[in-house]
């Protein structure tokens, strides 16, 4: 019974990480693209000459930049994790910010 509990405990952690990183980051990127379109005016239709299109929304651009920053941060942390492991270091989150420490 203990082995089953241990296996299920590990399985939900793997499922959660897969959902966050496998589907979550592309979803955040897609929200950023949609926010950028909203920030530019949000209308993909052609307008007649002299007809004003929709107004740009600054909140859309701010949201897009925030989404892109989250995706870039996750990619940078992933690359840092892989490179640090190759050099015999460990990426630690003991503090608020990630640090590289030697493996014990």
Q: Which contacts qualify for 63-69: CB closer than 8 Å, 24 or more apart?
A: 63/31, 63/32, 63/35, 63/38, 63/39, 64/32, 64/33, 64/35, 64/36, 64/39, 65/32, 66/32, 67/28, 67/29, 67/31, 67/32, 67/35, 68/29, 68/32
Share of the chain above pLDDT 70, in %: 88
Q: Model confidence over 3-38: pLDDT tens digits?
A: 888 888 888 888 888 888 788 899 999 999 999 888
Residue-wise pLDDT for 32-64, tens only, equals 999 988 887 766 566 667 777 677 788 889 999
Has residue 72 got a pLDDT over 90? yes
- Can you give the pLDDT at residue 30? 94
- Give the mean pLDDT of the chain: 85
């Amino acid at each position: 019974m203990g082995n089953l509990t241990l296996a299920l405990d590990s399985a939900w952690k793997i499922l959660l990480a897969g959902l966050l990183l496998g589907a979550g980051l592309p979803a955040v990127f897609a929200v950023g693209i949609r926010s950028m379109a909203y920030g530019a005016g949000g209308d993909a239709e052609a307008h007649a000459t002299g007809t004003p299109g929709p107004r740009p929304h600054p909140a859309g651009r701010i949201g897009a930049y925030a989404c892109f920053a989250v995706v870039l941060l996750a990619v940078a942390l992933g690359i840092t994790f892989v490179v640090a492991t190759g050099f015999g270091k460990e990426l630690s989150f003991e503090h608020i910010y990630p640090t590289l420490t030697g493996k014990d």
